[in-house]
Amino acid sequence: MTEPFFGNFDLASLTLWLFWIFFALLIYYIQRENMREGYPLEDDDGKPSANQGLFPVPDDKTFKLPHGRGEVTVPSAQNAERSEIALAKTAAGNGFPFVPTGDPMADGVGPASWAPRRDVPELDGQGHPKIVPMAANEHYSVAAGRDPRNLPVVAGDGAVVGRVTDMWIDEPEQLVRYLEMELNDNKGKRLIPLTMARIKSDRVAVRSLYGKHFPGIPAHASPRQVTLLEEDKITGYYAGGTLYASAERLEPQLG
């Protein structure tokens, strides 16, 4: 009798070892793919960080964007970053807070910060702008709740700064994203993120900004669409007002 092939070989042990090898390679692959955004690491001075981690940055990968919008290459070091940000260090070491050196809301820093996104509108699956004014689409109307159009816009300090003229809807999601308002004294139209507004029976309240801040809201160039970059600047401006609208808001508060 001859010894059968694999007669003394532990197939169960081989299977277990193959699983652990596969699992280790999977972790290595996933961790490298996770480093396509935000790497290589930088310190507070914008120089390459001394501690880049255990895994190397992945090779460049180019993605073709839909609807003829070209290509994008990552890791993020391939993409342009904001320069000359108006912030100053409060200590020589890394990890300490930065303080604004100018008007933080106008400079877009801290809570008011924005990212250099593409200056094109977000598209739906058909290649059309997702967010459009309701006035440009006759298929939509207010079916329930309060219609904010023609209501005055009241700032956090009680100033009446304008009047709501339209609502901008996200067509694929079928919900309102922005309110459009006409500023007083013919200072143009601005968008209000719906999450930063409170629609009441006689007014639309925007607590994060004071009256003096509304003319400084970043404007959208087109009356029929808003770009990704414009959205980031607009929402950042309103969010920044929650902290920077007045000096009192910068101080610690007890709830």
Nearest CA to 115 out of 249, 197, 247, 229 is that of: 229
- Are 129 and 203 found together in one domain? yes
In a domain, 15, yes or no: no
Cα torsion for 239, 244, 245, 250, to the nearest 10°?
A: 120
- Are 218 and 159 found together in one domain? yes
* pLDDT at position 4: 64
Handedness of CA 146, 149, 151, 155 (dihedral sign): positive
Q: What is the mean predicted confidence (pLDDT) over 51-67? A: 89
List, in sequence order, every residue forming a beta bridge with 72; answer none if it has no partner: 63
How many distinct structural domains can be found in the chain?
Answer: 2
Q: What is the mean predicted confidence (pLDDT) over 199-209? A: 95
Q: What is the mean predicted confidence (pLDDT) over 191-219? A: 96
* pLDDT at position 79: 72
* pLDDT at position 6: 63
Helices (H), 65-120: 104-107
- Are 128 and 208 found together in one domain? yes
- Tens-digit pLDDT profile for residues 94-152: 888 889 999 999 999 999 999 999 999 999 989 999 999 998 888 888 888 889 999 99
- Are 175 and 156 found together in one domain? yes
Residue 230 has pLDDT above 90, yes or no: yes
- Specify whether the CB–CB gap between 180 and 168 falls below 8 A: yes
Q: How confident is the model at residue 254 (pLDDT cuts 50, 70, 90)?
A: low
* pLDDT at position 72: 87
Q: Rounded to the nearest 5 degrees, what angle is found at the Cα of 88, between the Cα atoms of 82 and 93?
A: 105
pTM: 0.83
At position 198, the amino acid (one-letter code) is R
- For the record, the structure tokens of 26 come out as 């999977």
Across the chain, the runs of DSSP E, i.e. the strands, are 61-64, 71-74, 87-89, 98-100, 131-133, 152-155, 160-170, 175-183, 189-193, 198-199, 204-206
* pLDDT at position 97: 87
* pLDDT at position 153: 97
- Tens-digit pLDDT profile for residues 65-88: 999 888 888 887 777 778 788 998
In a domain, 33, yes or no: no
For the chain, how many helices (H) and strands (E)? 3, 11
- Are 86 and 203 found together in one domain? no
Residue 5 has pLDDT above 80, yes or no: no
**What are the backbone angles phi and psi of residue 106, rounded to the nearest 5°?**
-70, -35
Domain containing residue 212: CATH number: 3.90.50.10
Domain of 193, in residue numbers: 110-247
In a domain, 122, yes or no: yes
- Tens-digit pLDDT profile for residues 20-53: 999 999 999 999 999 988 888 888 888 888 888 8
- Specify whether the CB–CB gap between 99 and 107 falls below 8 A: no
- Are 158 and 191 found together in one domain? yes
